[in-house]
Amino acid sequence: MSRRVIDLALAGLWLLILIAGAGVCAWLYRRGLPRTYVRDLLHVGAGCWVFGWPGWEGWAVPTLIPALAVGGLLLLSGNKGGGRVAGFRQAVSDADERWSGLVLYALAVAILTPVGILWAPFPAAAALLALALGDGLGGLVGRNFGRRRFQLPGGKPKSLEGAAVVALASGVGIWVAAGYFQSPVSLPTVLGAAAAACLAEAVAPRATDNLLVPAAVFAVLILLG
């Protein structure tokens, strides 16, 4: 089977997964799951994209998929109509600002996918998994269990409980990426990158953490690697 056929087949599979994921989000919201939990589920689930990187034969097709997602989300940002698109928007976004966070998430994936396939698979995958797990689970815990509040200059109000989960879950994501891509990494490096994720999430202006968190983790892992 040629490289082009393999990549086109994988592209079809991932597009089906993307469509199914969007449909599940809308379905869960219609069944009464609060929007914040639907968004957290999407945030965490999107991290599975990195586990498919080794299966691609080239870099162009897997780079095109998240790039198209960015373009599609930008086009849909002004779509206030009905139908399935509106159902998905309602399930994951309660304001344009929330939608912009989704665009930045897709942009981070679009940037790091060719980087991970062509050059640095472990740092790129670790950056996206830190975003998926750390930011996703940290927000979930912070909203439901956060009691000790703080706010850094430029950032949103946070809780110490949520920040701790951001660091812990980011560290888990980095460790998983190291094992999956068979890249030895020291404990101080994991801790440093996890701390960078936590700090970036705390100082990021509203909605920009989806870009700043993976950028911080990737930079630390490159510098310490």
Q: By the 8 A CB rule, do 142 and 151 touch?
A: no
Residue 64 has pLDDT above 70, yes or no: yes
Q: How far is CA 121 from CA 33, 59, 160, in A?
A: 35, 12, 31
Give helix 3-30 / helix 35-45 axis angle, nearest 10°: 160
Tokens of 85: 């698109």
Checking 27-30 for CB contacts under 8 A at 24+ apart, the result is 28/91, 29/87, 29/90, 29/91, 29/92, 30/87, 30/91
pLDDT at 2: 76
Tokens of 139: 């927000």
Lowest mean pLDDT: which of 2-6, 90-94, 108-112, 133-137?
A: 90-94
Q: Look at residues 41, 44, 29 and name the one whose alpha carbon lies nearest to residue 86.
A: 29
* Identity of the residue numbered 100: S
Q: What does the alpha-carbon distance between residue 91 and residue 97 come to, in Å, rounded to a whole number?
A: 14
The stretch 186-203 carries a mean pLDDT of 97
Task: pLDDT band for 81, please (50, 70, 90 cuts).
Answer: low
pTM of the model: 0.94
Task: pLDDT band for 76, please (50, 70, 90 cuts).
Answer: confident
Task: pLDDT band for 86, please (50, 70, 90 cuts).
Answer: low
141 contact partners, CB below 8 Å, separation of at least 6:
161, 162, 165
Higher pLDDT, 216 or 39: 216
> Alpha helix (H) ranges present in the chain?
3-30, 35-45, 60-76, 83-92, 96-118, 121-129, 136-145, 160-180, 187-203, 209-224
Q: How many CA atoms lie within 13 A of 159 on its CB side?
A: 16
The stretch 165-175 carries a mean pLDDT of 98
